[in-house]
Amino acid sequence: MLLWTVDIVISFLTGVYVDGRLHMDLTTIAKEYVKTWLLLDASVVVVEWLAVITDEIASSTVSIFRSFRLIRLMKLLRFKKLHALFNEVLFERAKVLSANISILKTCLAYLAGLHVMACMLLFIRTSTEEGRAIFLEKGVQNTDMAYAYLISIHWALDFFLWSEVNVADSTADHVVAVCMRLAGFVGTSIFLARIVFLTQQYVDDRLSNLQDVANNYLETHPISNDLSLRLKKFVVSCYQQSWLESKLQEEQKLLDKMPENLQTDLCEESRGPHLCKSTFFRELQDKFRTCFRHICIDGIEEVVAQRHDMLFQDGYHSHAVLVTVSGSFSYTLARKHTLLGHLGQLLAPKHIKNRKTKVDPGTVVCEIAMWTSWIHTGSMQVLKSGIYLEISTDYLSSVVAAYPEAARTAHAYGRMVVIQLHHCRNDCTDLTPLEIDFKSLRKVTVKFMTDGHCIFLSHFKKEAGTEAALMQEALTNKIQLDPQNAAHYLEHPVFLDSENLEDLTKLRDHIHSSRNVVVLLTPGIFERPWCLVEIVSAFKQNKNIVPVEIQKPDMKFEYPDEEFIMDLCDGRLFTETDMQVFALEQIELDDIEAALRHIFTKIALPFSPHKASSIRDVEIKTILQRCAM
């Protein structure tokens, strides 16, 4: 009782190890003690003192007070604390204890064999008259089995050591003696060889033990208590880490000797289930298995996580995705980040309510790093040594890029992730899982199986260059902010020839890769040869042509009458250079007439760059609705 009482006082004076640092201040020690063992220690001590009091006043107290003695059994709960302490010592002295236990097991096995042989000799001597007579000669009575057993042990040991012993009186005794001598010879040889091997191994471990080197280093250098404790924790975990590393190395040697197909199958079945914790990798396995198998065998590195190691810290860039396989980890959210819930389809983990949370095996960490430049929002420390998978984002990109269909899906998936991050960036952490609905994503990607554009803007740069750039920006923002839009993942959803076109001879190709051609109607657009080339090319390729009238105070578009169209068809509005352009593009004047008449069968939509942003927003939405998806 006094021991437990003094232990409470000592616990308040003993430093604690918190987040890799040693704390000796009373406030931190008290906080950690209150969170761990104080309640149990206080309960045991209070019950003990109550038991003493009830014993002293038992004659004058109601008998019900004696029931408090049953609570004294709570003292057994103290073994839980001792068990934790024993586990710590066992882990820290793993090499020494392992060697000692092996020696003890060998000795026990030898003693067990000695016991079996002694029992056989005892049975032989007590089951016959001659045997009992031998025992009587040595002063052993029939009822004194303990003494008889000790004599049998002595005989068995003589057999084991091949000493001269004469206990054979018959042929059966001679056969038993020969068998026992043979068993003793083999058993003793194995025992001695095993003891020598374990002792030598123990000595070698002690000579090469990093702990001895670390202790000598700490004795000869002025190291602070904090760093001393960190060094000791590192040395303690080296044994388990070296075992895990040697295990991985042996497994890799085995895989290297296998045929490529067998090696790929094994990597897929062993690593695949861990990767499939991610929605993206699960889709790759289902739809693009060849790409998934390539990632499993070449794109993953198995890494040993050493106890107390820091895998990453907040504020640093992430260059890999981690998947925990074994061991135990702790994630601490940086104080500058907050969790306000979740928006869109990116889900912030519900279990991250506090700053620190435990990360179990099978958790995907930093999945967002695959799709954007990601900075860690917290730090991750190893609580128990284990293994995790590391997938380099750069190498993953190169592998996926080698498979065009998988690359298109990844491109669409990544664009959707970035759009969602734009909405819920403050809510995401390193542990945020990405939950994107691939069913809706496939409906989008099936409409765009090649690189291209949703809209091609045809305009007269001198009259509508600024307005075209403004419209391109507005249309692009609308498309990229709508995850369900079929063009949301394209690199250039809205193509502007003055910005993107480097070679005018490729004009037809860009129009061919666009679904819609938006013609910005300004006074001189139909007198510009390249604008007419764009319009006629779109008409011949059956593109959806959307006329949009640019409405500005200083400029008004006059819709062409029949006389203007006839002058256009006769070529009176074009120069010789313009006609050469048409000839080069294989465009006849009749083609121009047909294209213009087709355009004006449609109602032109307005775009007012000088009006309020709310009006322009409505106009952009209307233009986008007219475009075919």
The pTM assigned to this predicted structure is 0.45
State how far the Cα of 426 lies from the Cα of 147, in Å rounded to an integer: 82
Query: Are 434 and 367 contacting, i.e. CB atoms less than 8 angstroms apart?
Result: yes
State how far the Cα of 187 lies from the Cα of 37, in Å rounded to an integer: 49
State how far the Cα of 164 lies from the Cα of 153, in Å rounded to an integer: 15
pLDDT digits (tens, 9 = 90+) for 557-589: 888 888 888 888 888 888 888 888 888 888 888
Q: For the domain made up of 258-440, give the CATH fold.
A: Jelly Rolls (2.60.120)
What 3-state class would DSSP assign to 272? Answer: helix
Mean pLDDT, the chain, whole residue set: 76
Give the distance, in angstroms, between the CA of residue 158 and the centroid of all CA atoms in the same chain.
62
State how far the Cα of 93 lies from the Cα of 248, in Å rounded to an integer: 23
Residue 414, pLDDT score: 80
Q: Please provide the size of the chain in residues.
A: 629
Which residue type occupies 2? Answer: L
CATH number of 447-626: 3.40.50.10140
- Highest average pLDDT, of 76-85, 167-176, 417-426, 594-603, comes from 594-603
Query: Are 356 and 420 contacting, i.e. CB atoms less than 8 angstroms apart?
Result: no
pLDDT digits (tens, 9 = 90+) for 274-297: 988 888 898 888 888 999 999 988
Q: Which residue has the tokens 């995705």?
A: 321
Structure tokens at 621: 């939405």
Average pLDDT in the 410-418 region? 78
pLDDT digits (tens, 9 = 90+) for 427-451: 678 888 877 766 666 555 544 444 6
Q: Which of 224, 258, 433 is nearest to 348 (CA)?
A: 433
Q: Which of 501, 485, 508, 476 is nearest to 628 (CA)?
A: 485
Q: What percent of the chain has pLDDT over 90?
A: 13
pLDDT digits (tens, 9 = 90+) for 297-321: 888 888 888 777 888 988 888 899 9
User: Which sequence spans correspond to the domains of the chain?
Assistant: 2-92, 95-206, 218-252, 258-440, 447-626
Residue 550, pLDDT score: 92
